[in-house]
Structure 1
Amino acid sequence: MKLAGTLQAALTFTGIVVSASPSANATSVCCNTLAHQLPAIFHGKVSPDFNGLVQSRWSGTSMLRPGCIMTPQSADDVSRIVRILTRNRCQFAVKGGGHNANPGANSIDGGVSIDLVRLNTANLARDRSYVSLGAGLTWGRAYDAFNNSQVGFPGGVCEGVGVGGVSLGGGQSLFQAKMGWVVDNILEYQLVLASGEVVTASQRRRSDLFKALKGGNTNFGIVTRVKIAAFDFPGMWSGQVVSSIDKGATNRSAMLDSVSRAVVKFVAENNKDLDSGVQVAVAYPRGNVGQIALSALSNVANVAEPPSLKSFSDLPNRVSFAARHGKIADFTHQLSEFQPTGFRQVTASVTIDNDFETLRQIWDASDKVYNSLPQKDKIDWIVVLFPQPVIQQSYSKKRGGNSLGLSNNKKDQIVVWLASRWSDPSLDGMMDQARRDFIDATVAVAKKNNAYSPFLYINYAGPEQDPLCGYGAKSVAFFKRTAKKYDPNAVFQKLMPGGFKVSQAKCER
């Protein structure tokens, strides 16, 4: 009894809470072992930085309470952690940038959280042909690291988004019309397999794993570093246009017509100006203050106000227009101001063909969902559009292909992202239902107009969506073969419950 009491006291001192349930006992064993073998990177519940690590996420909806947190400083650290977790059958989660709002996507209740925040190296190759980025970096810090190097590379468009998540989910960037998805520009992944082995995957080495990682999310291992193709890049032009939808000389219906036409025209003609890009957010800010459209404009050739973006700067009811020549870091910082941390978030993704009638009707469907909410004055209702021109898919093959299932797509598309936020946790249930209603409504509109695409951008997908099946049955079958080869004991299917699991993909044939 004295020995048991001493052990209990020791575990409590390190911040490990002992429970009678089998899963909790497994976590206690793992946390105790991790604390003993890797004390410099261990954080128990009484550690002074534990709560800060729990809260270092974009959305309050993803803040869970693990039994302990590990902050590895190297791939070897990750390897040792994985070996301990698999040996003791402990559940775990992995956090990179922490920018996914879905519960469980980057944290876990009661298990072990692996926070990659210390995997934050950023190096430029001597010949300037690639950058090597730690998976725990955010894109803002990655761009900042090379601010004085006049080098560019495809990466995320928000500064707080993590390198790891974007590098596994496809990845939209400022260069997508010119260079494709972020994953189409990755030269090499370093990752830790379920066995604890540290390996690399590239076009020449483990090419099947390399392709599977490019869209396959967290089903195959823990990525610790990526190498991304780089190029000389002196700077870019960016602009931000804010327009009122329902206040001004042009009425609301006509404004939504104008926004929709501008987006559809740009996507259809993006192949004529590969250097320009746009993201458009239409929002009802909290407090019933009206509806606005925010257009974030970019040109990576540093051309000011290119003709392809004129439809956005010329939108009626303009409230403000700010533009600058600068660096990628400047643009991502500006864009991130519209998606700050500190809120609770829902996320959902729907992809449509580039069709005016469909997009215009989606605004009406979205309004119907928003107006049905009993406490809509307490939320920011935000819907964001991302162009997905067909030319974006043409860059994949030269670097070994990706697993997004779009190689046979022949249509320009638009990704529709619900990114609404609020502060009061009591509204979580209302917003979960709103997300489901939004998905149902937008999918119904797209199918009615024969403009529906099953593709779902995985990093924006809601928890009830199945983005892996959205890639198609062929991709899912490839994922399953690859997962079985590199993770025969299904560690990343069973012990890492968060995220979208290939073992749970139920695709309609």
Structure 2
Amino acid sequence: MAASAPSPDTVVAVIKKANGGKRNCTAVEEILLEYANLSPLEQDKVRPLFVTKVFPLVFGDNAFVRGSDDYAIQQQVPWSTNCWLEPQVIVTPTTAQQVAAALALCIFFIIKFSIRGGGHLHNPGFNSNDGGVVISLGQFEQVRLSEDKSTADIGLGLRWLDVYEALEPEGLAVAGGRMPTVGVPGLILGGGISFQNSQYGVGAMAVANYEVVLADLSIVNANAQENPDLFWALKGGGPNFGIVTRMDMATVPNQIWSESRIYPPTAYNQLVEALMEYHEAIETDDQATLIWHATGESIMLVYVYCSPVDNPSVFAPFYDIPFTMNFVEPGIRSIYDLVQAVASVVSSEPMLHEFRTMSSRPSIEVYKAIENARAEQVLALQDLKNVTLTTVFQPMSSLAMKQSASSPLGLEPAGQQWFLAMGDWANAADEERVRAAVKNIVDVAEKVARENGAYLDYKYSNYAARDQDALAGYGEENIERMRRVARKYDPFGVFQNLQGGGWLLSKIGSV
């Protein structure tokens, strides 16, 4: 790390470029020189003081120091309240050059930093930290179509509902997220499940170009022609290589057929039998997506067909199973209309959240074991208030896996399901018990999957719990290739050593 620390002159040059010469950098330079002339022991003692002094000088009203006005608003951006940590400074740069300036200061002061997009990741320390700096991309809010409308520059401060709303007047969309409140960069850098998985692969496969701020403070493009090794690594490799400040994504048609039905819990066995038939059907139909979302009160299934075809036959196994109501009526609509419907019922109440994941080949034994385990854990937590345990199935076809082959994810080219066990609760004192209940459900699923030969090593990182070794499932060859890319673009390990959290290559095997 020491060899990579920039000099005060270098940092000031980056700041001047970021601010276009509009700010007087004399005071900044004096502070940096004063700090540089201190002994390492003295620097350790006064680092927070210098950091909280410099960032407002450089970023003005876009720097929020702990204790200042509006700090709490920025602090409470993360979706899960156990991620509301206390960094010294939260900075909201508006350009890639300003991101480079923020990074330069973090490296200069050797202070922990975190990168935040939408703040939806549920693991404490992944999008914030205690005592360091948060570089928030919340000001990156653009959606700009290319001249021929084949790609869109998607702002990394947006949530997916915002993206679809901006593209709606053009009759276009992108292969992005399905939940309205999920942020753009976190989803895509983790691979990203989209409605169009079977057509195009995971969401990252739709990215045509990344703009990246590297550890040496340069700003580069990564695409099929420029820095292709970095381009490959970013398609699911997370925050290991730089700070992504721009994504250009291929546009897709906006008209889909969709329906959402609510079923009683008593329909579970019928539904999982239909789900096994659906797994077979999507091996020859690349237009379908199904989301299964079950609690003790109800089972919600969302059916999406990425063409304007009424009542697609791929969902026929489910059509005759009695249901209690439509959450979304069957019909042809835009992706924005569907995601907006979901947004209308998403709770905005601050809660704590835990995710945990596993993957397997289609297995009715696994599906039934999961429901039994969920019901057992609901009973175990029945003395607690405001706790919900949810199970989510994501059927994935071999078509989707093959379309995602040129990524670091290491996906087996076979039909499979990505399982999410989710706990939501209100009382922070209940965290240990809720997390243990979620773990128990996944442990049961893994045990049954191993016993019947259905288990897969891959763990979808955006669903992984903080103690799961998400990147380990990418496979040794891909891990070593990502490490080579990281060493090339970050030879001193800035993103491995100073970054506060996330799925880091340096943590593989130690989680």
- State the TM-score, normalizing by the size of structure 2: 0.88
Aligned to 1:347, which of 347, 352, 355?
A: 355
Q: Provide the residue aligned with 2:257 in structure 1.
A: 237
Amino acid at match of 1:237: W
Q: Provide the residue aligned with 2:287 in structure 1.
A: 275
SS in 1 for 2:260: strand
8 Å CA contact 2:160, 2:176 repeated in 1: yes
Query: Which range moved further: 74-83 or 436-445?
Result: 436-445
Distance 2:141 2:383 in 1: 41
Q: Provide the residue aligned with 1:335 in structure 2.
A: 342
Q: Provide the residue aligned with 2:273 in structure 1.
A: 261
Q: Provide the residue aligned with 1:80 in structure 2.
A: 101
Q: What per-residue deviation string (whole Å, max 9, x for no partner) do you get for residues 324-366 of structure 1?
A: 4322122223334555342211111111111222222222123
How far is 1:469 from its partner?
0.3
State yes or no: 1:357 paired with 2:365.
Answer: yes
Q: Provide the residue aligned with 2:121 in structure 1.
A: 100
Aligned to 1:182, which of 203, 206, 225?
A: 203
Q: Provide the residue aligned with 1:214 in structure 2.
A: 235
SS in 1 for 2:509: coil
- Cα 1:29–1:321 change in 2 (3 A) is closer
Amino acid at match of 2:255: G
Q: What per-residue deviation string (whole Å, max 9, x for no partner) do you get for residues 27-52 of structure 1?
A: 33223221112213211124322111
State yes or no: 1:228 paired with 2:234.
Answer: no
Distance 2:284 2:44 in 1: 56
SS in 2 for 1:223: strand
Q: What per-residue deviation string (whole Å, max 9, x for no partner) do you get for residues 383-410 of structure 1?
A: 111111111022245xxx210001xx23
Q: What per-residue deviation string (whole Å, max 9, x for no partner) do you get for residues 264-297 of structure 1?
A: 221221133322211011113xxxxxx3100011
Q: Provide the residue aligned with 2:16 in structure 1.
A: none
- Cα 1:426–1:22 change in 2 (3 A) is farther
Query: Which range moved further: 260-269 or 140-149?
Result: 260-269
Q: What per-residue deviation string (whole Å, max 9, x for no partner) do you get for residues 428-480 of structure 1?
A: 12112223222322211211111111100000100000110011111111121
Amino acid at match of 1:90: I
Distance 1:345 1:178 in 2: 31
Distance 2:404 2:369 in 1: 32
Aligned to 1:315, which of 314, 321, 337?
A: 321
Q: Provide the residue aligned with 1:385 in structure 2.
A: 393
Instruction: State the identity %.
Output: 27
8 Å CA contact 2:423, 2:435 repeated in 1: no
Distance 1:23 1:433 in 2: 37
8 Å CA contact 1:105, 1:499 repeated in 2: yes
Q: 1:51-200 to 2 correspondence within 5 Å?
A: 51-200=72-221
Amino acid at match of 2:283: N
Q: What per-residue deviation string (whole Å, max 9, x for no partner) do you get for residues 301-325 of structure 1?
A: 1222212123334323434453243
Distance 2:383 2:53 in 1: 45
8 Å CA contact 2:159, 2:181 repeated in 1: yes
How far is 1:225 from its partner?
0.7
Aligned to 1:468, which of 427, 446, 471?
A: 471
SS in 1 for 2:400: helix
Q: Provide the residue aligned with 2:403 in structure 1.
A: 395
Matched length: 470
SS in 2 for 1:203: coil
- Cα 1:48–1:311 change in 2 (3 A) is farther
Aligned to 1:426, which of 424, 429, 433?
A: 429
Q: Provide the residue aligned with 2:34 in structure 1.
A: none
Distance 1:469 1:196 in 2: 29
Amino acid at match of 1:328: I
State yes or no: 1:415 paired with 2:422.
Answer: no
SS in 2 for 1:93: strand
SS in 2 for 1:230: strand
Distance 2:442 2:60 in 1: 45
Distance 2:326 2:42 in 1: 58
Amino acid at match of 1:279: I
State yes or no: 1:404 paired with 2:409.
Answer: yes
Amino acid at match of 2:256: M
SS in 2 for 1:187: strand
Q: What are the ranges of 5 or more consecutive residues in structure 2 without an aligned counterpart?
A: 1-30, 32-40
Q: What are the ranges of 5 or more consecutive residues in structure 1 without an aligned counterpart?
A: 1-9, 11-19, 246-251, 285-290
How far is 1:152 from its partner?
2.3
8 Å CA contact 1:136, 1:224 repeated in 2: no
- Cα 1:24–1:274 change in 2 (3 A) is farther
